[in-house]
Chain A
Amino acid sequence: GENVEQHPSTLSVQEGDSAVIKCTYSDSASNYFPWYKQELGKGPQLIIDIRSNVGEKKDQRIAVTLNKTAKHFSLHITETQPEDSAVYFCAASKSGGGADGLTFGKGTHLIIQP
Chain B
Amino acid sequence: NAGVTQTPKFRVLKTGQSMTLLCAQDMNHEYMYWYRQDPGMGLRLIHYSVGEGTTAKGEVPDGYNVSRLKKQNFLLGLESAAPSQTSVYFCASSYGAQPQHFGDGTRLSIL
Q: A43-B103, A44-B102 are in contact. Are A98 and B96 (CB under 8 A)?
A: yes
User: Which secondary structure characterizes the binding site on chain A?
Assistant: loop
Task: Please determine whether A104 and B33 come into contact, CB atoms closer than 8 angstroms.
Answer: no
Q: Which residues of A contact B31 (CB under 8 A)?
A: 98-99
Roughly how many angstroms separate A93 CA and B60 CA in the complex, as a whole number? 16
How many residue pairs link A and B with beta carbons under 8 A? The number is 69
With CB as the reference atom, state the residue of chain A lying closest to B40. A106
- Which of these, A4, A41, A98, A106, contacts B94 with CB under 8 Å? A98
Interface size on A, residues (CB 8 A): 29
| Distance of A46 Cα from B94 Cα, bound (Å) | 12
B42 adjacent to A95 (CB under 8 Å): no
Set A4, A41, A102: member contacting B45, Cβ < 8 A: A102
Pairwise interchain contact B42-A101, C-beta atoms closer than 8 A: no
Which listed residue (B42, B96, B99, B104) contacts A104, Cβ 8 A? B42
Contacts of B99 in A (CB 8 A): 34, 46, 49, 97
CB closest chain-A residue, reference B42: A104
B90 engages A43 (CB within 8 Å): yes
**A104 and B43 form a contact (CB under 8 A):** yes
Residues of B close to A9: CB separation below 8 A: 40
- Within the assembled complex, what's the spacing in Å between the Cα atoms of A1 and B60? 12
Residue of A nearest to B91 (CB): A43
Interface check B50, CB cutoff 8 A: yes
* Contact between chains at A43 and B104 (CB < 8 Å): yes
Q: Report the nearest A residue to B3, measured CB to CB.
A: A43
Supposing A34-B99, A95-B97, A100-B48 touch, asked if A44 and B41 sit within 8 A by C-beta, the answer is no
Contact A97 B97 (CB under 8 A): yes
Cβ contacts A to B, 15 pairs, < 8 Å: A4-B42, A9-B40, A32-B97, A41-B104, A43-B90, A43-B92, A43-B102, A44-B102, A97-B98, A98-B31, A99-B50, A100-B56, A101-B35, A101-B48, A105-B42
Which residues of A are interface residues toward B (Cβ below 8 A)? 1, 4, 6, 9, 32, 34, 36, 41-46, 49, 89, 91, 95-107
* Cβ-closest 10 pairs across A and B: A104-B42, A96-B97, A43-B102, A101-B45, A98-B97, A104-B43, A43-B104, A46-B99, A106-B42, A44-B102
